[in-house]
Amino acid sequence: MRGAESPISIIGFSQDLRCGTGKNSPTLLLWYELKTKTMEREIFYSEHKDKVIIISPIGEMNGVLDHLDRQEFKYKNLLIIGNGFDLNLGLKSTYRDFAESCLFKRMYVKRQKEKRSKNNPTPSLIDYLYGKKFFERWYDIEAALLEYVSRKPDRSFVNNVNEDKEDYRLVCTTLVEYLASLLNPHNHAKLSQIMDSSAAAKVLLKFRGKQNIVYSFNYTPITMIADLVFANLKSEVVKVHGEIEEDSIFKDRLKDNSIILGIETNNLNDIAPGYSFLLKSNNPSYKSTNMAYDLLCTKNVIFFGHSLNQMDFGYFESYFKLLSTNADTRRKLTLITKDENSRVTILDNLRKSGISVRDLFAHTQVDIILTDDIDKEESESNSNFNDLLEKLQDF
């Protein structure tokens, strides 16, 4: 990389396992915009005259990071929020909460009546989801969906695709209705009081700068939540899996296509034929994001309430591989989670996804903050959280 004769700016990147120098050597593809194309390694020209693609194994990324050392970051802070963020705000938004709700039971009863009227006793998707809640302590609808379509070839009702499509649409509509009920305008005053003292609200209040960006994996509308805690959120917000629309909250006009509920796999052989409609990336509302690029070009990355589960890890894989193999003292990673159990779950999920936790901590400054310990004055979480708020204030 020393052969470049002028500064370069990264305009995108992605991981490609096919181009490694060894059998197990993952490769990072980086798109650069160059004023000169004098490079030491082979380059592949894109369709754009002034852009090239440079292929470099992740283990040889030090030169790239050296270039980044001489550049300003695109963002100072990037916040990624998962369901634990909503829980910290006091919202009962877990799939377990949904499954225990009257709306979920009403949905199930409605489908049973429809089946009886059609003289159709065949079990379908809703039967499976309803039954799972009695046997699963950590109820996860998306995990149940994946299990359902993975096991389906072994079942007697393999030709129930059309029935299951109806079930899926009803589940989405009912979930939107449930989440909208949590944010009912009649409850806003009470919600504001509960949210106001939460760690999530304190982060939102500081996270105002235009050099910040938010990626939300939740279906709840983050801008509305910010308004409830009087946080003037000027940062760019990206809704990765969509969100319930305000019409569903204020006007009772439910829109099941506003959220992206489903599963993800790169191998269609993992699921039964006809069930690719459950893939998130096949959802009509699924949009491209610049998350991979933004993660690389951000100084401080904060995960709040995201377990780094394998279903979503594809979004972060290149970032964590880069952090765990290349030392960069300017970067900081903060993981905010509920307690010791969830801390261990996050680290175990990283290991399951092929990330060396030891190497990650050796190459990058990592802080883990437990929200249960934030109010304990002598705790490390209390100190780290206060430091985080001060740094966010600076920006």
Q: Residue 327 in contact with residue 61, Cβ under 8 Å? A: no
Q: Which domain holds residue 117?
A: 92-182+253-287
CATH number at residue 236: 3.40.50.720
For residues 16 and 106, give the distance between their C-alpha atoms in angstroms, rounded to a whole number: 46
- Asked if residue 101 belongs to a domain, the reply is yes
Residues 265, 151 within the same domain = yes
- Asked if residue 3 belongs to a domain, the reply is no
- Asked if residue 164 belongs to a domain, the reply is yes
Number of domains in the chain: 3
- Asked if residue 4 belongs to a domain, the reply is no
The pTM score is 0.80
Residues 176, 258 within the same domain = yes
Residues 62, 108 within the same domain = no
Residues 376, 320 within the same domain = yes
Residues 280, 299 within the same domain = no
For residues 197 and 237, give the distance between their C-alpha atoms in angstroms, rounded to a whole number: 23
Helix (H) or strand (E) holding 213: strand 212-216
- Asked if residue 216 belongs to a domain, the reply is yes
For residues 113 and 62, give the distance between their C-alpha atoms in angstroms, rounded to a whole number: 63
pLDDT 10s per residue in the chain (395 long)?
333 333 334 434 444 333 333 333 333 444 443 333 333 333 333 333 333 334 444 444 444 444 444 456 788 899 999 999 999 999 999 999 999 999 999 999 999 999 888 887 788 899 999 999 888 778 899 999 999 988 655 555 445 898 999 999 999 999 999 999 998 888 777 788 878 889 999 999 888 767 789 999 999 999 888 888 888 787 889 999 999 886 656 555 555 557 999 998 888 888 888 899 999 999 998 988 889 889 988 999 999 999 999 889 999 999 999 899 988 888 999 999 999 999 999 999 999 999 999 999 999 999 999 999 999 999 999 999 999 999 887 65
Residues 97, 86 within the same domain = no
Residues 173, 258 within the same domain = yes
Residues contacting residue 48 through CB under 8 Å, at least 6 positions apart: none
**Angstrom distances, CA of residue 292 to CA of 116, 120, 194, 288:** 48, 46, 34, 11
